[in-house]
Structure 1
Amino acid sequence: MTEADGTAGMSKFIRRLVRVRIWLGERLRFNELQATLLWAAIIGFLGAWTSIAFKEATEWLHHLFTGFHQTEIASFKSMPTWRRLLIPTIGGLLAGLTLLFRTRFKAQANSTDYMEAVVVGDGNLSVRVSLVKSVSAWFSGASGASIGREGPLVQLSSLVASVLGRWLKFPLARKRQLVACGAAAGIASAYHAPIAGAFFVAEIVLGSVAMEAFGPLVISSVIATLTIRAHEGDAAILEGGEAFTLHSNAELLPYVGLGIACGLATPMFLSLMKGGERAFSLLKAPVWVKLALGGLIVGAITVFRPEVVGNGRELVIDVLTKPWAWQALAVVLICKLLATAATFGSGAVGGVFTPTLFAGAAFGYLFGIAMCSLFPAWGMEPGAFGLIGMGAFLAAATGAPVMAIIMIFELTLNYQILMPVMLASVVAYYICRSLKPETLYGEALKRKGAAAVAQHLATLKVGDLMTPDTGTLSPNATFGEVARAFLQSRHEFLHIVHDNRFLGVVSLHDIKPYLDQPELESLLIARDVMRDDFTRLQPDQTMNEALELFGQAEAERLPVTAITGELLGAVTKTDVLLFLAGKPKKQAVAA
């Protein structure tokens, strides 16, 4: 073998680059989990701009519908009766007609909802179906439908993550995690709440707060929130929270009572939402008729109480910042619940997160008026009960008390609110769970077959997470070819294959001693520095077995081979950890 054969291309510059590559590998130890954090940050940024674009498009369409550059409530108050009836009906009609396109793509869709994509575990969202649903939500939201805007924001942000995962050809576990990051970015963008956005996905969707899965959610949420605040400002969404002050510990007792009341009232709220669905399911009519009817009902209610239009954010702020007579607030609460039940039941695309916040704020305010009448000397404010009621109602309705507590804190940026909202939320959660209602998102997950999917996930093996290994070398590869291969790869081990049979690996650190010995470079080939006793996985092994072997090998990536020794692909430790961390403990053990 000549020196030209052995060191082709091994100039001083190439040798210097290899030394830098080894130095970085020894000190930075950049693995797949760190790469996932980087992609989570990118998804947070892209998800935030997707949310900004959707919000501005909704405002533009609202102006087109109403002719007013005002908030939804102000616009409807300025319109005559016939337009209050007509605009929500037309919006519902257009939203329903848009959904007709979904049936054309149904057979081609892997998943049509971000929760389904995360729970199913494939991380694939149908682009066309997601866009159809978002356009439908666009028509509903701009025309005053009484439904939350977080649904399309989360859907679009998750879609961006899913497309990115497919484009980069990420394995199953990482695509699933990226979609979860997109969902967290969507929630964070909607409410300027990075911690609550991460906990929303961790508690409700993933059912786990394991750090391997939770860390990327936090990164995505924080980046999304920073992007949104740079565009919209960094003020608290609920400025009324700044006025909250806990005067004495005795005030905590009424807040505990509020938690009990919210725990008892939440099942009725959930039953009303499901009742709306059941009522519209009895109507044997096309989806566009149902959505138009839902819009007409909302329009009819706005004739008397125009405050019910929109997702309820304006109403929440009004409840927390303005004095209300209990009779007026009770009427608005009832009308808003009926409008939300009609919109939600008709099949409109969106969420009920913000309407739930309003229900909690109004219920808490009414409870606060009663407490202030009973204990006038305590100096309590009904608005404070409205704040605490939001957290308690949200905790009971979603079954995610930690998320609810953090959400209220982030919405108000008031530290003093933490103790009372913690007490009320936990009490409301346990009271509501004792009555065993279906949670706000439990029914959605059940409809998407979460139980069957969990059983399917428990049977997945190493082969299901495997990706093709394109970074292989021949055992006769020259030292120069090995060095250049490491410059092109981010991995610290390259697999040596002959006739598609796995022989061993070459470590980045094993070639380091030969960089200063040019006379040996001309003689060395990959087989000379190969490790032939390297740990390998089998495609039928469980995830827990794979994790145990990763611990023994202390490697970030292991080859997957058939019994005959054929190299089938590779699996990273990060993918196994994300897979196990993305499920509740019982499912992970079953895997």
Structure 2
Amino acid sequence: MLRWWSTPRIFKFFLLRLRLAATYQAVDRYTVLFWAGLVGILGGLSSVLFRRLLDLMAFVLSGRHGSIVEIFSGLPPWQRLATPIVGGLVAGGVLYFGGRWHSRRSSSTDFMEAVVLGEGTLSFRSSIVKILSATFSVTSGGSIGREGPMVQLSSLLASMVGRTRKWSVAQRRLILACGASAGIAAAYNAPIAGALFVAEIVVGSIAMETFGPLIFSSVLATQTVRFLADSDPLYVIPPFHLQSGLELFYYLALGLLAGLVAPWFLRALRGSEKLFTKTCLPAYLRLALGGLVVGVLALRYPEVCGNGYSVVTGILQEQWLWSSLVVLLLLKVTATSASFGSGAVGGVFTPTLFVGASVGYLFGHACEGLGLGGLPEPGALALTGMGMVLAATTHAPLMAIIMIFEMTLDYQLILPLMLGCVLAHFTALGFESGSIYSASLKRKGADYAQRQLALLKVGGLMKSDPARVRPDAPFNQIAKHFVLHTYQYLYVVNEQGIYLGAVGLQDIKQYLGNSFLDNLIVAQDLLTDGPPIIHYSASLEEALEKFSHYTGERLPVVSDGPSPRLLGSLGKTDLLLALAERVPAAEGQFADQTKKG
């Protein structure tokens, strides 16, 4: 009776497997795309469910349906004051007492830290605590965005996927970055901007090895949201048109203004954070104090509550008087600073868009008051102002340009938006080199150098426990390995684990279909030198040199010394990801040295 691997059906499957292997060498890359797509779908599902949870929580707390501003507008004064205080107290209590429940593992609680500085994993318990705290902050009127917990939740699901796979640190970081990009894309219905947000701000590279999976994840996340919820643009605006080339001068002036305003907005946020820290209050009292500031402001202006989405929509529809908007802008910045500085968990992405829309709208009315001619419409200036302030605060102008376009689907303003965003970015750099997210990436600066040193060696990137057999392994065992797995080489080691060589997938083709060879041929008979080996302590530059002369996807990693034991394997994709991460790090070190000099 023929063995299972030598039946005609299995034989045909094996030949197909050989043809696919010959055509597609980069099997690992397709695997990454599959998992990136799965993470994108999970991110989209989690975003839809989280939005419904927020709506339910808001109804439970207030007994009303609608946006946060609509809910607060209908509340009596005492509830406007009390709701943010109680919400801050509960949200802070969740952080305070949840901190005793958090995981003691070394995994991070911030997705940016986990992608750039950490091991590519998030602490499950700490993430749940942060998401739950953010739920109370957002639904009780905190002046903070809901995109923060949405991204945290999507990143947590991606981290859980990464934990189930035996991936290297670089691969876990990439899949976690895919989760973050899925969360941003789902929150703003902007797949390209979601991928660019993570690529520009978090990863610091738009190399295709990283950007491809990010796009894959973002698109599927967005499509999931559109299928389950809504496919309309985030902001519905009247059509705008560029009437003449002279209007570009106004957009350039607005870009300059946005570049001047953004650093002061960042300093207000950071200054508030330092001020609240000096109080030395526990988290629940600190967040309650921040809620008190929001509640007092909401007594007269309920529009300061929430992330500012409804107000931005009104600005784009030109429904606000400039005098009222000036006051609201100052109060909104104060409320956002209070929520952010007190430690409320949430995002500042949407509040930043509020500041940009207000600055653009007020700039248009100021120019009109001066009697200047050929002005763009105030709504158009508000729309481009959103992108300009976003570019100046994040130092990611490309992401800001695409974000505004995807949120509005208005192509007419792409040209002025591009000019203004670039000018705002470079203007802001002259006053504030750090972005709105810089603080998150500095929290683990001490550990960063150690992790970078580890990644400078092959041992920090290798994948352990590669497929291996003994020299006396029979042919049927070898064939079974190749049928069930996607690798191109099966490593051969002796009883002491010393690397002897490899059996290639292509090398066994001539023996297929001969059942009598089942136990006659062993691994020793098929042994070849295989791919070039690389030592555990070798540098990444040495590994890159090895791959430059080898077309395969993986290299066997062996121990140092005269008796090379097989320790693992190094993937080309992991190497390229690690090298891509080192480029922005080197640029940052160069910038620091330039400032010191």
TM-score normalized with structure 1 length: 0.95
Counterpart mapping for 1:125-136 below 5 A: 125-136=122-133
1:537 aligned partner: 534
Partners of 1:543 and 1:231 in 2: how far apart?
45
Does 1:342 find its partner at 2:341? Answer: no
**Aligned-partner SS, 2:502:** strand
**Contact (CA 8 Å) 1:478, 1:526: kept in 2 or not?**
yes
2:62 aligned partner: 66
| Aligned residue among 386, 404, 414 for 1:418 | 414
Deviation at 1:135, TM superposition (A): 0.2
Partners of 2:508 and 2:52 in 1: how far apart?
56
Paired AA for residue 82 in structure 1 = W
**Contact (CA 8 Å) 1:158, 1:182: kept in 2 or not?**
yes
2:195 aligned partner: 198
Deviation at 1:136, TM superposition (A): 0.2
Deviation at 1:522, TM superposition (A): 5.7
Partners of 1:465 and 1:65 in 2: how far apart?
49
Deviation at 1:362, TM superposition (A): 0.4
Residues 8 and 409 of structure 1, relative CA distance in 2, 3 Å threshold: closer
Paired AA for residue 135 in structure 2 = W
Deviation at 1:477, TM superposition (A): 1.8
Does 1:265 find its partner at 2:261? Answer: yes
Paired AA for residue 581 in structure 2 = G
Does 1:153 find its partner at 2:150? Answer: yes
Aligned length: 584
Structure 1 residue runs of 5 or longer lacking an equivalent are none
Deviation at 1:108, TM superposition (A): 3.0
2:592 aligned partner: none
| Aligned residue among 554, 557, 562 for 1:560 | 557
Does 1:456 find its partner at 2:455? Answer: no
2:218 aligned partner: 221
Deviation at 1:208, TM superposition (A): 1.2
2:394 aligned partner: 398
Q: What CA deviation, in whole Å up to 9, does each residue of 1:439-498 have, x standing for no partner?
A: 21112212232x751563144211112222242112222222211110111101111111
Residues 582 and 229 of structure 1, relative CA distance in 2, 3 Å threshold: farther
Paired AA for residue 252 in structure 2 = V
Does 1:293 find its partner at 2:292? Answer: no
| Aligned residue among 159, 163, 180 for 1:162 | 159
Deviation at 1:31, TM superposition (A): 1.6
Q: What CA deviation, in whole Å up to 9, does each residue of 1:514-562 have, x standing for no partner?
A: 2255565663222222212531111101122112212223221111111
**Contact (CA 8 Å) 1:84, 1:303: kept in 2 or not?**
yes
**Contact (CA 8 Å) 1:88, 1:296: kept in 2 or not?**
yes
Partners of 2:213 and 2:505 in 1: how far apart?
28
Partners of 1:271 and 1:379 in 2: how far apart?
31
| Aligned residue among 471, 479, 482 for 1:483 | 479
Paired AA for residue 456 in structure 1 = R
Partners of 1:86 and 1:428 in 2: how far apart?
39
Partners of 2:403 and 2:81 in 1: how far apart?
35
**Contact (CA 8 Å) 2:43, 2:183: kept in 1 or not?**
yes
**Contact (CA 8 Å) 2:117, 2:447: kept in 1 or not?**
no
1:497 aligned partner: 493
Residues 297 and 210 of structure 1, relative CA distance in 2, 3 Å threshold: same
Partners of 1:36 and 1:321 in 2: how far apart?
43
Partners of 1:52 and 1:298 in 2: how far apart?
27
Residues 522 and 15 of structure 1, relative CA distance in 2, 3 Å threshold: farther
Partners of 2:588 and 2:142 in 1: how far apart?
44
1:53 aligned partner: 49
Partners of 1:578 and 1:356 in 2: how far apart?
31
Paired AA for residue 326 in structure 1 = W
Larger helix share, 1 or 2: 1
Deviation at 1:107, TM superposition (A): 3.3
Deviation at 1:16, TM superposition (A): 2.7
Structure 2 residue runs of 5 or longer lacking an equivalent are 590-597
**Contact (CA 8 Å) 1:194, 1:225: kept in 2 or not?**
yes
Counterpart mapping for 1:100-179 below 5 A: 100=96, 101-105=98-102, 107-179=104-176
Paired AA for residue 457 in structure 1 = Q
Is the deviation greater in 434-443 or in 51-60?
434-443
1:252 aligned partner: 248
**Contact (CA 8 Å) 1:212, 1:578: kept in 2 or not?**
yes
TM-score normalized with structure 2 length: 0.94
**Aligned-partner SS, 1:416:** coil
Paired AA for residue 409 in structure 1 = F
1:575 aligned partner: 574
